[in-house]
Amino acid sequence: SQQGEEDPQALSIQEGENATMNCSYKTSINNLQWYRQNSGRGLVHLILIRSNEREKHSGRLRVTLDTSKKSSSLLITASRAADTASYFCATDEGSARQLTFGSGTQLTVLP
């Protein structure tokens, strides 16, 4: 079953603007991850935030995690056309550390 669910499903912004995507999940997690997928390609890992962390930064990416609300957000600052892709959150469940993914947010950055 799908654990993480992202919203919005699609987001279109102008280059230079910030993009915010949200993810909600249902059960306890060890960590939450964000991935990026260019059309027709495999997923690429962006950032991992552990359940005891509240915020994490990596370059233009900022991820927050609120375990009380079972939600996370991914912020991409100063977006570029090359950021156009689908973004997925993924959570791990239990000792097997299987990853379950949400349905993703399709981000389009217009030049």
Partner 1 sequence: SQTIHQWPATLVQPVGSPLSLECTVEGTSNPNLYWYRQAAGRGLQLLFYSVGIGQISSEVPQNLSASRPQDRQFILSSKKLLLSDSGFYLCAWNGDTNTEAFFGQGTRLTVV
Q: Which residues bind partner 1 (CB under 8 A)?
A: 2, 30-31, 33, 35, 40-45, 48, 88, 90, 92, 96-104, 106
Q: What is the spatial distance between Cα 26 and Cα 76, in angstroms, rounded to a whole number?
A: 24
In whole angstroms, the minimum distance from the beta carbon of 69 to partner 1 comes to 21
Q: Which is nearer to partner 1, 43 or 107 (CB)?
A: 43
In whole angstroms, the minimum distance from the beta carbon of 16 to partner 1 comes to 27
Q: What angle do CA 16, 23, 50 make, to 5 degrees?
A: 100
In whole angstroms, the minimum distance from the beta carbon of 89 to partner 1 comes to 10
